Amino acid sequence: MKQPLKSALIGGVTLVAVAGTVLIPAAAFAAVDTKTTTVQATVAPVISMTTSGTVTIPIIPTVSGSASSISDTVTVNTNRSTGYNLKLAGATATLVNGGSSIAAIAGTFASPGAITNNTWGYRVDNQGSFGVGPTSAQTNQASLTSVLWAAMPTVAQTIKTTGVASGADVTTVWYGAMADSTKVDGTYSDIITYTATTN
């Protein structure tokens, strides 16, 4: 014969029992499960850069040639923990003024040389084979042979690499040119593109 079930409500707790047994609170049979959630904030790598925008090398030519130099300030900000690479390239290798031009020097980033008459170039102190410098602005000198220079590449050349996050990291890029009185007056220019990429 089946045993009848008995139930009672005592103090708001339901008690269940089989006939002939002690009443047991129903809550004693509750199941429990525990889970956790991990909260993550993913911060993306970012990079930004500023330059001087325009730099002008002032030259008053002479028969034997006159040389001047000026700097561009490139400032990079990145939160990338492994740093960044900075590259530069010119739209052309020469400085152009209509049908006249100032040629690139023969030197390179790996093997820089001196700026000679009617040539121009760039340098970055402490990078490549340029040497430590320090380079300084010069105006209408007989030469700029105290420091070495490279021709402007038309394919992007890495000029600096860092290995840590950088807030307002400054790279000073120097530009120098020399011209004699055979060069027509006017503005000789090239468009330089800097590219900063996170590592």
Domain count across the chain: 2
Q: Is the pLDDT of residue 199 over 90?
A: yes
CB contact set of 1 (below 8 Å; sequence gap of 6+): none
pLDDT of the residue at 19: 54
pLDDT digits (tens, 9 = 90+) for 167-191: 999 999 999 999 999 999 999 999 9
Asked whether residue 36 is assigned to any structural domain, the reply reads no
In terms of C-beta density within 10 A (0-12 exposed, 13-18 middle, 19 or more buried), how is residue 189 classed? middle
Asked whether residue 42 is assigned to any structural domain, the reply reads no
Name the percent of the chain lying above pLDDT 90: 82
Q: Within its chain, how far is the Cα of 185 from the centroid?
A: 37
Asked whether residue 140 is assigned to any structural domain, the reply reads yes
98 and 149 co-located in one domain: yes
23 and 117 co-located in one domain: no
184 and 148 co-located in one domain: yes
Asked whether residue 38 is assigned to any structural domain, the reply reads no
3 and 68 co-located in one domain: no
Residue 4 binned pLDDT confidence (cut-offs 50, 70, 90)? low
The CATH number of whichever domain residue 52 belongs to comes to: 2.60.40
Q: Is the pLDDT of residue 2 over 60?
A: no
Alpha carbon distances (Å) from 103 to 13, 93, 146: 96, 7, 20
26 and 109 co-located in one domain: no
Asked whether residue 35 is assigned to any structural domain, the reply reads no
160 and 74 co-located in one domain: yes
Name the percent of the chain lying above pLDDT 70: 86
Range of the domain at 12: 1-30
pLDDT of the residue at 189: 98
13 and 57 co-located in one domain: no
120 and 185 co-located in one domain: yes
88 and 131 co-located in one domain: yes
Tell me the C-alpha distance between 112 and 79, whole Å: 33
Asked whether residue 102 is assigned to any structural domain, the reply reads yes
Tell me the C-alpha distance between 127 and 158, whole Å: 10
Nearest Cα residue to 127 out of 174, 70, 90, 72: 174
pLDDT digits (tens, 9 = 90+) for 64-110: 999 999 999 999 999 999 999 999 999 999 999 999 999 999 999 99
Asked whether residue 41 is assigned to any structural domain, the reply reads no
112 and 149 co-located in one domain: yes
**Of residues 62 and 20, more confidently modeled:** 62
pLDDT digits (tens, 9 = 90+) for 6-53: 444 445 545 445 555 556 565 667 899 999 999 999 999 999 999 999
5 and 72 co-located in one domain: no
Asked whether residue 128 is assigned to any structural domain, the reply reads yes
Query: Beta 138-141 vs 66-78: how paired, if at all?
Result: antiparallel
24 and 60 co-located in one domain: no
Alpha carbon distances (Å) from 137 to 50, 72, 89, 165: 21, 11, 22, 30
CB contact set of 16 (below 8 Å; sequence gap of 6+): 5, 6, 7, 23, 24, 26
